[in-house]
Structure 1
Amino acid sequence: MGDIRRRAAVVLGVTGLVAPLTLAATTAPAQAATSCTTQTGPYQKQVEKFLGLKVDGKQSSTDCKAVRAFQNKHGITPAVGYAGPVTWGVMDLMNKQKAVGKNPNKDGKCPVNKGRIACVDLTLQLSWIQDGKKLVYGPVPVRTGRDGYETRTGLKKIYWRDIDHVSTIYDVPMPYSQFFDGGQAFHSVGLSMWNPPGSHGCVNMTTKDAKSYWSLLKKGDDVYVYGRKPGT
């Protein structure tokens, strides 16, 4: 039975690295990825404010370099310094995540009557661990399933753990894998947590957070996934 479950977890849509989302030609200027655009984006003021730049709503060389550095850091393409909807969407999500502070379950949507539980808020792309009403770890940013590969919602349990798992579907490492729904698992990736468009269903984490989840959770612990990832 253990071997059957192991094969099933590999086959059922295990996530891996995905290519960053490319903006459509209608949302960003058609320029080579190495160039820096002079065009003002539709979210220019919001992006300037987020990056601590002069907020005048006009693209400058300084603006472009700062925006492009942000895009390169988080895998947003094309990285030409254009203040478009994908770039602002990432920044807006960061603002919302920061506003949560240390009270991620303020709305009470993640059940607190089950002892140790890992909560995943798809809407805010946050996860944390609770023990009853006590916050044990987090909240931390996560990278969940992209459109068409959504991380499935509902109450689940961790049923298999593999610290050195490798996806046979995508041929990529999935360190600190903790499977909770078919092929969907918590695991670390070497990507920004804000790298669009998302995973193939798994809950991606930084190595630091995935290691902490590995040490804090065990087989049989509850996982509760709720909300809806932006863009899905």
Structure 2
Amino acid sequence: MRFNKLIVGATVAVAALLSACGSGASADGSTSSTTAPTSSAASETTTQPPSTSTAAPTTSSAKPTTTTSKSTPKSTTSKPSTPKPGPAEGAPCTADASACIDLSANRAWLLTDGKVTYGPVPITHGRPGWRTPPGTFRVQWKNIDHKSREFDNAPMPYSVFFNGGIAFHAGSLRQLSHGCIHLSTAAAKAFFVLPVGAVVQVVP
């Protein structure tokens, strides 16, 4: 019986010893487990700075697109396509005019390639309130025996219309017109040869 008590006492002592080792091991284990999250948290903070450094190249790569968007060579190639015509010889108009009217001198000319082919001939033009407008126009249409509906069917033989209702035509060289260019009958026949589209220049 004593022997049994001794065995039981020894067993209890071994069990107490083993339980003391187990608590020590668990204490060590808990310490090692608490250090592991600390090292993992440290590794997480080191991964953040590289992500901010990768954003810098994105902003620097946007600069070349603004420099390549400028396109200036297109404007330089379109300028030399429209040269201005020079002056005509012997008339106060430019060389591209087929008919030239000088309102202040009361004279008119026909031209071909910048040279006078007919004229100067005397004219009359618009009276006050019906002034003949200066400018560059084109022959729009012609009528050899035109009558004005606006002015009581007044005859306008050899009419060459170049600005709406304004035309060259045979008319009085003493009376001012309602805007048309009056020519002698001989001059009106010469001006009637002008084709549709011919340039008519009226200078003040």
TM-score (norm 2): 0.54
In the alignment, which residue of structure 1 is the partner of 2:189?
211
Aligned counterparts, 1:30-69, within 5 A: none
In the alignment, which residue of structure 2 is the partner of 1:119?
100
Q: CA deviation at 1:133?
A: 2.6
Structure with bigger helix share is 2
In the alignment, which residue of structure 2 is the partner of 1:200?
178
The letter for the 1-side match of 2:183 is: M
What is the percentage of aligned positions where both structures have the same residue? 39
The answer on whether the counterparts of 1:160 and 1:179 sit within 8 Å (CA) in structure 2 is: yes
Aligned match of 1:182 in 164, 169, 189? 164
TM-score (norm 1): 0.48
Aligned match of 2:200 in 209, 223, 228? 223
Task: Report how many residues are paired.
Answer: 115
The letter for the 1-side match of 2:126 is: G
- Alignment partner of 1:173 is 2:173: no
Q: CA RMSD in A?
A: 1.3
1:152–1:122 CA distance, 2 compared to 1 (3 A): same
More contact order relative to length (CA 8 Å, sep ≥ 6): 1
SS in 1 for 2:161: strand
The letter for the 2-side match of 1:111 is: T
- Alignment partner of 1:138 is 2:115: no
Give 5+ residue unaligned stretches, structure 2. 1-88
In the alignment, which residue of structure 1 is the partner of 2:93?
110
The answer on whether the counterparts of 1:104 and 1:139 sit within 8 Å (CA) in structure 2 is: no
Moved over 2 A (4+): none
Partner Cα separation in structure 1 for residue 135 and residue 177 of structure 2 = 18
Q: CA deviation at 1:149?
A: 0.4
Which has more radius of gyration? 2
In the alignment, which residue of structure 2 is the partner of 1:48?
none
The letter for the 1-side match of 2:137 is: K
In the alignment, which residue of structure 2 is the partner of 1:148?
129
* C-alpha distance after superposition, 1:145-187 (max 9, x if no partner): 0111011110000001011110011121101100000100000
Aligned counterparts, 1:20-99, within 5 A: none
Give 5+ residue unaligned stretches, structure 1. 1-102, 228-232
The letter for the 2-side match of 1:155 is: T
The letter for the 2-side match of 1:151 is: T
In the alignment, which residue of structure 1 is the partner of 2:109?
128
